[in-house]
Chain A
């Protein structure tokens, strides 16, 4: 079945550092790809998405590009802030699934220090 693999955390960075979180997927078709973020004590929020190969999703300074040839959707941000400390989840959905079920990765905790 479909699956998502993320790099393990925690990832600890200093403020203004460059952040990359690796995400690769296995799917039989052409999934839609998502990054969700979970801030401490809160539920998940959609951060960005991409629905086809070479699409780039972006939001709040974060970017991720849908790479079909490497089955990847790595998340990047050029200069992180303390407020970016959170758990980041990569997820996919099968666009032929009418019910929108999401398959999540295990999550990567990011800690940004001042």
Chain B
């Protein structure tokens, strides 16, 4: 049981490049979330999904897109990376019965130069 895994762990992009971050969970959770963590700001919700094929915007969705084609996977895309998107990205999942008890992945550290 791996829990929540994220790929890659580290990435450096140039401004304007695109990339996709992959989150996978093996706990059969319905709900999944993408956050970004910046110094002094805690975690802010980017997008979330309440089931396969459904996604919704969080607090800071601009510049990101997501897809949930399979229940176990939640992808976060950056179409044209900007230095302001330099951050640590965390994925989380939760079961519908206790939605606020979220299980987090180890994070992806992204630097945009």
Interface residues of A (CB under 8 A from B): 4, 32, 34, 36, 41-46, 49, 89, 93, 98-102, 104-107
Nearest Cβ on chain A to B55's Cβ, whole angstroms: 11
B58's nearest neighbour on chain A, judged by CB, is A101
Residues on A with C-beta less than 8 A from B45 are: 101-102
Residues on B with C-beta less than 8 A from A34 are: 100-101
Q: Are A41 and B102 in contact (CB under 8 A)?
A: no
Q: Bound complex: CA of A4 vs CA of B56, how far in Å?
A: 23
Residues on A with C-beta less than 8 A from B94 are: 100
Nearest Cβ on chain B to A77's Cβ, whole angstroms: 21
Q: Are B50 and A99 in contact (CB under 8 A)?
A: yes
Nearest Cβ on chain A to B106's Cβ, whole angstroms: 5
Q: Are B102 and A46 in contact (CB under 8 A)?
A: yes
Q: Are B104 and A93 in contact (CB under 8 A)?
A: no
Residues on B with C-beta less than 8 A from A93 are: 99-100
Q: Are A32 and B100 in contact (CB under 8 A)?
A: yes
Q: A36-B104, A49-B100, A49-B101 are in contact. List 9 more A-B contacts (CB 8 A).
A: A42-B107, A43-B92, A43-B104, A44-B102, A46-B102, A101-B58, A104-B42, A105-B42, A106-B41
A32's nearest neighbour on chain B, judged by CB, is B100
- A46 partner, pick from B40, B58, B101, beta carbons under 8 A: B101
B50's nearest neighbour on chain A, judged by CB, is A99
Residues on B with C-beta less than 8 A from A106 are: 40-42
Q: Are A43 and B4 in contact (CB under 8 A)?
A: yes
Q: Are A99 and B43 in contact (CB under 8 A)?
A: no
In order of increasing CB-CB distance, the 8 nearest A-B pairs are A100-B99, A43-B104, A104-B42, A93-B100, A44-B104, A104-B43, A100-B100, A106-B42
Residues on B with C-beta less than 8 A from A105 are: 42
Q: Bound complex: CA of A100 vs CA of B35, how far in Å?
A: 14
B9's nearest neighbour on chain A, judged by CB, is A41
Q: Bound complex: CA of A104 vs CA of B48, how far in Å?
A: 16
Q: Are A43 and B105 in contact (CB under 8 A)?
A: yes
